[in-house]
Structure 1
């Protein structure tokens, strides 16, 4: 039986909530593949977050793990990642409880704080400030 509307081989699968399924990989290319696959308005916000992180943390290390982009400092660990959900992008600051002010959403892990970015609700200045603070804290080894 023929498949209807087969997905092109170059198009990543979107998991539940619209999160792109991208193979684990290190460097800029897997992260850019993830961002290109982010659906709808999330694509533009993902591009902007990536650009702001690069601007605030020149030479930032990047990877995709567990279908999420990770950002960190070489030899120091990861300081943030993000993940697409149906209605928002969830940004995890791994030492977010130490940021001033801390991102608004608590985690089961005491040190972690989240930022939920909704359509038309991305405070770039606050995000950039948190990225700068987070990049100076000890990172997580994952």
Structure 2
């Protein structure tokens, strides 16, 4: 309605948007829209890459992070904003070829960081997304 103020989501430490838990494209798009600065453009590109690579992908926002998965099979990918980068989480990352570069405390999980100004290798990201979507998902 005219005159109503739309509240912007709160940015948590590191600039991660605080978005209510929800399932479907809507909460993920709200998260992407609230990503600060250059990160929102990357979020849009990532979301489009994931949808092209996995047309039947299911989406949710949990713990203030978007998750992507296969219905009935869990989540294969999530991401989160930090002050200087976006962290992509591949829950079965050690099974990907090549293995994403950043190790985790969780044995199978691997990370990939995207910094401002990075030249995103969309072919490599798409291949990781396709591979990850075929592996058993994480139940979170």
Pairwise TM-score range, normalised by the shorter structure: over 0.9
Structure 2: runs of 5+ lacking an equivalent: none
Deviations 1:54-101 (A, max 9, x none): 000002000000000000000010000000000000000000010001
Quick one: which of 133, 136, 139 aligns to 1:138? 136
Which residue is equivalent to 2:84?
Answer: 87
User: What is residue 34 of structure 1 aligned with on the other side?
Assistant: 31
**1:111 counterpart (108, 112, 116):** 108
TM-score by length of 1: 0.93
- Once the two structures are TM-superposed, the CA of residue 10 in structure 1 deviates from its matched residue by 2.5
Q: Specify the alignment match of 2:126 in structure 1.
A: 128
Superposition TM-score, scaled by structure 2 size? 0.94
* Structure 2 counterpart of 1:53: 50
**Superposition RMSD in Å:** 0.8
Say yes or no: does 1:71 pair with 2:68: yes
Q: 1:10 aligns with which of 7, 12, 17?
A: 7
Q: CA deviation at 1:124?
A: 1.2
What is the total number of aligned residue pairs between the two structures? 135
Please give the alpha-carbon distance, in whole angstroms, between the structure 2 residues aligned to 1:105 and 1:9.
Answer: 38
| DSSP 3-state at the match of 2:76 | strand
Unaligned runs of 5+ residues in structure 1 are 1-7
